[in-house]
Amino acid sequence: MGQMLVTCATGDPDLHVFAAVDTGDDFASTVPGADAIIDFSHHSAIEPVLARCMEHQKTLVIGTTGHTDAQIAAIKHASGQIPIVFAPNYSIGVNTLFWLTRKAAEILGPGFDLEVVEMHHRFKKDAPSGTAKRLVEILAEVRELSYNKDARHGRQGIVGERTNAEIGVHAIRGGDVVGDHTVIYAAQGERVELTHKASSRETFARGALRAALWAHDKPAGLYDMQDVLGLK
């Protein structure tokens, strides 16, 4: 994603790449000169990223997924001091899928069983994807369930029938798949499936750059891609 961000930003007259930082590079000394920081790395990197952005009052766009609950709490805390856009997926298509997922769950109601399936390339380090997690959170909000308690990951070892108070989550890994997500609403006699398939990582990079441009002069706060796209 870092390489894709640099490629997309380089061709954009509104943007200048101040620095590209990888493991072992001196992140701290690059922060003061930039208007915004875009983080697509690993969730374990979040503490120094937040600390440096707060120290220098910089806008932060987080694309990284897989954060622990404690790391998410630290992101929320930091957003009291700086503008942060935090989104598991910066594509316009998936953000439309988020909206449709809520709408379909509201319309179809409790008679439909809810399952989320995602597939990604073999190099992905977290599972389920941040996008799948967000889809389950949206479904859980509509059904008054909770991600931590009611998501059923893979169902291995579960004996007995499916209950109403659960949302299945299934992560498939293989090859070079950029990112597929399907939300399944299954009832007796019919089934609805909403699917998004990304075929290039460019859509994520362009969305994150758009978020940085949108957020760099915003007041401190926690924003997501729905805010950037005006979907709220």
Ligand X SMILES: O=C(O)C1=N[C@H](C(=O)O)C[C@H](O)C1
Ligand Y SMILES: NC(=O)C1=CN([C@@H]2O[C@H](COP(=O)(O)OP(=O)(O)OC[C@H]3O[C@@H](n4cnc5c(N)ncnc54)[C@H](OP(=O)(O)O)[C@@H]3O)[C@@H](O)[C@H]2O)C=CC1
Given the complex with ligand X, which of 50 and 225 has the nearer CB atom? Answer: 225
Q: Which is nearer to ligand X, 124 or 152 (CB)?
A: 124
In the complex, what is the shortest distance from the CB of residue 207 to ligand X, in angstroms, rounded to a whole number? Answer: 10
- Contacts with ligand Y, 17-36, as mask; x by CB under 6 A: -----xx-------------
CA distance 5 to 10: 8
Active site residue 120: yes
59 token code pair: 């806008």
Q: Is residue 90 a contact residue for ligand Y (CB under 6 A)? A: yes
Q: Considering beta carbons, is residue 186 or 222 the nearer one to ligand Y? A: 222
CB count, 10 Å around CB of 165? 12
- Would you count residue 89 as binding ligand Y (CB under 6 A)? yes
Q: Is 2 annotated as a binding residue?
A: no
As measured in angstroms, the least distance from the Cβ of 231 to ligand X is 18
Partner from ligand X, ligand Y, none contacting 120, C-beta within 5 to 8 A by type: ligand X
Distance CA 55, CA 87 (A): 22
CA separation (Å) from 139 to 83, 169, 229? 27, 12, 21
Helices and strands (H and E) in the chain: how many: 9, 9
182 known member of a binding site: no
Q: Which of 120, 133, 181, 196 is catalytic?
A: 120
Residue 98 binding ligand Y, by CB under 6 A: no
Pairing of strands 59-62, 36-39: parallel
Active site residue 197: no
- By CB under 6 A, tell whether 223 contacts ligand Y: no
Give the whole-angstrom CA distance, residue 58 versus residue 126: 27
Q: At what angle do helices 92-108 and 130-143 cross, to 10 degrees?
A: 30
The backbone torsions φ and ψ at residue 140, rounded to the nearest 5 degrees and listed phi first, read -65, -40
Interaction of residue 95 with ligand Y, rule CB under 6 A: no
- Which residues participate in catalysis according to the annotation? 120, 124
Residues that bind ligand Y (CB under 6 A): 1-2, 22-23, 40-42, 44-45, 63-66, 87-90, 126, 130, 204
